[in-house]
């Protein structure tokens, strides 16, 4: 290979990773500590009004919301450390070293908040299954796509919803921080996925769409699942859940399209 060609390829690789490195710098600037949260100054979760029964029911509902976020962040620890281990490029590893720290800090914050809220509730079995599908998927392209491009983009709107319903609490403060952090995780994933797909052949791209089609039915089950603590609001919320789910799936399709994937074969499990 001619020297010029090697230099060109080096420069191209350097430019491709500039995006990932920008997110590394951003992650370092945004870093926070669990002790920065307003512990003891404001209530941990909304206190609720009305009869003692009503208050207890609201508390159970919040405990179940916190439990699922704790579950999601513990799984995110496992997924981000897998990415740190298998991403071959030093730039990508550098970025993932910050994401591992973020996910474990998120876990620490949820653990402390749950302790103040009275303990954990029921786990979402579909969320465990989703994480395992991503952990066991064959390629780096699939893992980055599922975790950072898809899940971490969708979780942002969940944090906004929770923050809006929990004004003036530690929970709201935490959700605002997580909105920023997961915005960085998603942005970094988009930047890295673009690098990974730069020279990908049609077969690799096809495999990504196939993996998404295998994952989507479980994602739908996860989105519509309600623990017993929130079963009482289940039927009233179902049409809103379905609407949110539809929007989420449309966002996923648009993101895949923006990465140059052929989305005509994506099979959305709801109409």
Q: What is the DSSP string of 102-116?
A: HHHHHHHHHHHHHHH
Residue nearest to Fe ion (CB): 106
Question: Which C-beta is closer to Fe ion: that of 106 or that of 222?
Answer: 106
Question: Which C-beta is closer to Fe ion: that of 124 or that of 182?
Answer: 182
Minimum CB separation from Fe ion for residue 10, in Å? Answer: 31
- Is-contact 66 110, C-beta < 8 A? yes
Minimum CB separation from Fe ion for residue 270, in Å? Answer: 25
Integer Cα distance of 233 and 235 in angstroms: 6
Minimum CB separation from Fe ion for residue 178, in Å? Answer: 6
Integer Cα distance of 241 and 21 in angstroms: 36
Q: Report CA torsion sign: 11, 140, 90, 186.
A: positive
Q: What's the token pair of residue 74? A: 């513990």
Interface mask toward Fe ion for 144-183; x: CB under 5 A: --------x-----------------------------x-
Minimum CB separation from Fe ion for residue 182, in Å? Answer: 5
Size of the site for Fe ion (CB under 5 A): 7
Integer Cα distance of 61 and 227 in angstroms: 9
Question: Which C-beta is closer to Fe ion: that of 60 or that of 152?
Answer: 152
Integer Cα distance of 11 and 36 in angstroms: 41
Question: Which C-beta is closer to Fe ion: that of 73 or that of 173?
Answer: 73
Integer Cα distance of 250 and 153 in angstroms: 12
Integer Cα distance of 222 and 124 in angstroms: 7
Question: Which C-beta is closer to Fe ion: that of 141 or that of 152?
Answer: 152
Question: Which C-beta is closer to Fe ion: that of 184 or that of 245?
Answer: 184
- 94 to 123, contacts with Fe ion by CB under 5 A? 103, 106
Interface mask toward Fe ion for 181-200; x: CB under 5 A: -x--x---------------
Minimum CB separation from Fe ion for residue 152, in Å? Answer: 5
Question: Which C-beta is closer to Fe ion: that of 106 or that of 143?
Answer: 106
Interface mask toward Fe ion for 63-82; x: CB under 5 A: ----------x--x------
Detail the DSSP E strand segments found in 58-167: none
Q: What DSSP character marks residue 6?
A: H
- 211 to 240, contacts with Fe ion by CB under 5 A? none
Q: What is the DSSP string of 152-171?
A: HHHHHHHHHHHHHTTTTSHH
Q: Report CA torsion sign: 52, 53, 54, 59.
A: positive
Integer Cα distance of 102 and 81 in angstroms: 11
Question: Which C-beta is closer to Fe ion: that of 187 or that of 209?
Answer: 187
Query: Which residues of the chain form contacts with Fe ion (CB under 5 A)?
Result: 73, 76, 103, 106, 152, 182, 185
């Amino acid at each position: 290979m001619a020297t010029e060609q090697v230099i060109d390829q080096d420069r191209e690789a350097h430019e491709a990773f500039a995006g990932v490195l920008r997110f590394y710098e951003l992650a370092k600037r945004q870093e926070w500590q669990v002790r920065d949260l307003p512990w003891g100054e404001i209530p941990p979760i909304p206190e609720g009004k009305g009869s003692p029964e009503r208050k207890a029911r609201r508390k159970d509902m919040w405990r179940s919301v916190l439990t699922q976020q704790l579950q999601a962040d513990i799984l995110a620890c496992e997924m981000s450390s897998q990415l740190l281990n298998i991403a071959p490029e030093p730039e990508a590893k550098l970025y993932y070293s910050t994401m591992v720290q973020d996910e474990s800090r998120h876990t620490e914050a949820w653990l402390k908040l749950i302790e103040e809220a009275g303990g954990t509730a029921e786990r979402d079995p579909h969320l465990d299954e989703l994480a395992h599908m991503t952990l066991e998927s064959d390629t780096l392209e699939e893992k980055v796509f599922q975790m950072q491009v898809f899940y971490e983009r969708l979780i942002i709107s969940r944090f906004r919803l929770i923050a809006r319903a929990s004004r003036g609490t530690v929970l709201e403060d935490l959700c605002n921080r997580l909105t920023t952090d997961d915005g960085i995780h998603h942005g970094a994933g988009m930047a890295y996925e673009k690098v990974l797909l730069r020279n990908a052949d049609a077969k690799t791209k096809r495999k990504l769409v196939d993996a998404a089609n295998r994952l989507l039915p479980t994602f739908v089950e996860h989105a519509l699942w309600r623990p017993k603590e929130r079963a009482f609001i289940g039927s009233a919320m179902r049409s809103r859940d379905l609407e949110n789910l539809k929007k989420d799936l449309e966002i996923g399709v648009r993101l895949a399209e923006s990465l140059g994937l052929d989305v005509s074969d994506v099979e959305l499990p709801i109409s």
